[in-house]
Amino acid sequence: MAPTAPYTLPDDKTKSTIKTNSSPGGEGSNEIRFEDLKDGEEFYIHAQKDFNEVVENDHTTTVHANQTNKVDKSQTVSVGAAQTISVGGNQTESVDKNVTVHIKGSQSVTIDGGEAADGVTGAKLNITGDYVADASKTVSVQAPEKITLTCGGSSITIEPGKITLAAGDGSEVVLDANALMKSSHGSKTLHGPDTHLFASTGADLMLTADASLQSKAGSQVLLNANAKAEASTGGKLELTANAAMDGKEASVTGQTKATVTGATEATLTATGTVKASTAGVEVSGPKVDVKGDALVNISGGIVKIN
């Protein structure tokens, strides 16, 4: 039986081919074909199964227009030394599943323009050594729900309407509509419409339109239009338009001099009374003693005794 030409003549007269059929029982072929039709020139290679190419030295491929590589299954690229990829225009990479990049040395990425990453459902970057990000202008990190920066036990967490700074020793600053500072010992400062300071030892300072200070033992100082100090043991000092001091015992001591002055009247009262006014001085009580260890002088325009 005479062999059959692989192409129809004279329709395919510009084609030259070397084509071999598979062994009996096979239905494929290997082929090297040349198409010499003007403006339709083609060099075609077909491998029925495997295609192996071995180059003992350099291999250069130059494509003056476009190139398409399609691999229906897996592809492995192994480069023993360096690899350089240069793209004159844009580069787009689409991966339907996961991407794993393992760099045993360092990595350097330089972006002269902007960078945009849309449609990423999840990403993770593990770096064994140091990582440095250096921008000549600005750096922007955006997330709609939360951004967390962690160093050991310390962290900065940014959420919509809230920022939390936490130190590894337990200290914390929370910024939302208010500002809360908390030490690892339990002391707190809350800044809102008012300011409230809590000491871990129990003292309390409240700053509103007024100012209030309270000790752990219960003593208080209140400053508003007036001023009031009250001891947990019962002593009181109140300054209004007047001044009042109250306690089981009240003492006024001057190292060289003590003066009690009233514009029209000054009164000292216990069971008896000492009253000084513009009209004079009165001393009264169930018993009044006037005693001088050396001398007692009583003088006046008129001296009346009973």
Q: Is it true that the peptide bond before 193 is cis, omega within 30 degrees of 0?
A: no
pLDDT of residue 162: 95
Give pLDDT, residue 27.
84
Q: What is the dihedral of CA 22, 28, 31, 37, to 10 degrees?
A: 140
Residue 221: closest CA among 229, 211, 231: 229
Residue identified by tokens 């009165």 is 282
Could you list the pLDDT tens digit for every one of the 306 residues in the chain? 556 778 898 999 999 999 998 998 778 999 999 999 999 999 999 999 999 999 999 999 999 999 999 999 999 999 999 999 999 999 999 989 888 888 888 878 777 776 666 655 667 777 888 888 888 888 889 999 999 999 999 999 999 999 999 998 889 999 999 999 999 998 999 999 999 888 998 888 888 888 888 888 889 888 888 988 888 888 888 888 887 878 777 777 878 887 777 778 877 777 778 888 888 888 888 888 888 888 888 887 787 777
Contacts of 293 (CB under 8 A, 6+ apart): none
Domain ranges of the chain: 9-49, 147-184, 201-247
pLDDT of residue 278: 82
b/e code 250-281 from CB counts within 10 Å (16+ = b): eeeeeeeeeeeeeeeeeeeeeeeebbbeeeee
